A and B are shown apart, each in its own frame.
Chain A
Amino acid sequence: MIRAARGPTLRRGIVSIAVFLVLWEIGSNSKAWLGFTIPLVGAIPAPSDVVVVWASLLHDGGYWQSCFLSVLRVLAGFFAAMIIGIPFGLALAINRTAYATWFPTFEVLRPIPPLAWVPASIIFWPTQELSITFVTFLGAFFTIVLNVIGGARSIDVRYFQAARSMGSSSFDIFRRIILPGVLPSIAVGAAVGMGITWNVVVAAEMISGGASQATGAGGGLGFFIWNSYVGGSYPQIVVGMISIGIAGYLSSELLRKLGQRITPWLRTH
């Protein structure tokens, strides 16, 4: 299980990031410092340039607006996927008729990459915002549903038998066996789904061009990156990328913590 990093773990984490930054700095400055350009890395803005640009962006409302918009879309899509996906998955897991009726459709739609939905989504949702959120929702939805179904299916039949012989009603079994039994899978599905929503939201923002194309601000981090590329501001591209990395890491970590809290029996001592 993951715990707060302390002592050697924390030190190693810092060393790992520091070494990465130093190698990157050397790579980016290879032409000036070493006399030749290291391929690929040599073309990337150096971390020192990125930090400078980032520091100036911290006073820029547009950057914060982009972060805020992306987070909002991720949260909206993610929670919609949880709210719809968990009951839907449970229904499919416990009811054979529901499973036979819905699962084939679900399985046909599932392999379609969320990004393939972008054009269709732009056509049938009234606003740009809703289409991006919808695509984000799809990213998490399928993962969460599959995890709930799998989790409910893998509950040991002995738990059901034991509960029934101790006088549990069907509702008791649902509430006291199935629900706690799928919690670990929901936690896993949520963490994986959250990762996917970040992948999807950024791509969707790039393709759809952001909410307000005139200024370039307000389009989310995906549009921020794309706009920086078009405008030739390469350090800003990196700022956008690292911002997504940090946001994705923080949200996954938060979900892992939450997941551990709702499944205290899985904690190792």
Chain B
Amino acid sequence: MSLAWGKVTGESRNGAVEKGAIRIDDVVKVYDPDGAAVLAVDHCTLEIQPGEICMIVGPSGCGKTTLLNAIAGFHSLTSGAIYLDDEMLCGPGKPTANPGPDRVVVFQNGALFPWKTILDNVSFGPVMQGRLDRKAANEKARQMMSDAGLSGTEDNYPGELSSGVRRRVEIVRALMNDPKVLLLDEPYRALDSLTKSVMHEALLEIYYKNRVTIFFITHDLEEAIFLGHRVVIMTTRPCKPKKILDVDIPHPRDYSVLTAPRFRELMEETIEAVHEEARKAFEAGEREG
């Protein structure tokens, strides 16, 4: 099984993306609360190409979020290293990466600042980094929101909008930072399946306009195959790649893909591996409970 970029990619992308390669190199993470060591990530190695949508699938609590937090710089590594392009984010001598606008996270339950209007939320990053003054940032924010079909919500507070709209705003807010990588941690988990399908197409539409590397965590296999260039199925705790699937369905994709025979074949190819891990996670949960 090759961990490198598969044959799929060349034909499905326009090849313009040069930055945003992630290399996860033999990463180990042990949580040690009260001396009871818990191995969350076990010698995980994975390479993600610039501009790739890499879907990480695994049961809840398998340790995939640990990996995302290490890339984002929210948690430390026990050993191993993570590189973004040629820069070591964290590794020997530097257990925790510095959080930065080149890797922006979109959180599971959303993290729009409730006390800021949508416009202020979206223009937050460039203003903080001093790249744009407030006026220019607002202008860019309005433009990007209009591209994403979000015009008219600028003066609302996040609490006034539906969770689907909030999630789209949050992705736009992340893209305002011109990141190399978007880190998405089950962003659509709380949405109903109809809203979810709209969100998937909206995400792809945004992605086709702004090619960045996407590291997308989910436990929804259908979502993973629909969106991803590759789907990495993780073992349950400790987390490491169990099976990697090249999704050879060309981009741009729309919802007709879901009923395509190839899509069903890919589902069949992977569902057993996912189910096996889910069962293990469930049984482990039973034991702990």
A residues at B contact (CB < 8 Å):
156, 158-159, 161-169, 172, 176-177, 180-181, 183, 263-266, 269
Contact = CB atoms under 8 A, between A and B. Distances in A.
A268 to B, nearest CB: 8
A158 to B, nearest CB: 4
A166 B115 contact: no
Contacts of A266: 159
A168 B121 CA distance: 13
The 7 A-B pairs with the shortest beta carbon distances in the complex, nearest first, are A167-B129, A166-B125, A158-B111, A180-B115, A265-B157, A165-B99, A164-B99
Given A161-B99, A264-B157, A168 B128 contact: yes
B113 A161 contact: no
7 contacts: A159-B111, A162-B107, A162-B111, A165-B105, A167-B177, A176-B113, A265-B115
A158 B105 CA distance: 10
Contacts of A168: 128
A65 B122 CA distance: 54
A164 B99 CA distance: 6
Interface string B97-119: 00111011101010101111000
Interface of B: 72-74, 99-101, 103-105, 107, 109, 111, 113-116, 124-125, 128-129, 157-160, 173, 177
Contacts of B115: 180-181, 183, 263, 265
Nearest to B72: A165
Given A161-B111, A265-B114, A269-B160, A167 B105 contact: no
Contacts of B124: 163, 166, 176
Nearest to A167: B129
B169 to A, nearest CB: 12
Given A172-B128, A180-B113, A265-B115, A165 B104 contact: yes
B74 A161 contact: yes
Nearest to B179: A165
Interface of B is mostly: loop
A193 B177 CA distance: 42
A240 B99 CA distance: 60
A157 to B, nearest CB: 9
A262 to B, nearest CB: 10
A176 B159 CA distance: 18
Nearest to A156: B111
Contacts of A163: 113, 124, 128
Nearest to A180: B115
A164 B116 CA distance: 16
Contacts of B103: 165
A265 B160 CA distance: 8
B72 A166 contact: no
B100 A165 contact: yes
Contact of A158 (B107, B173, B177): B107
Contacts of A156: 111
B109 A158 contact: yes
Nearest to A183: B115
Contacts of B111: 156, 158-159, 161-162
Nearest to A266: B159
Q: Which of B74, B100, B107, B115 counts the most A-chain CB atoms under 10 A from its CB?
A: B115
A37 B160 CA distance: 57
A265 B128 contact: no
A146 B82 CA distance: 42
Nearest to B117: A265
A263 B105 CA distance: 27
Nearest to A168: B128
A251 B74 CA distance: 44
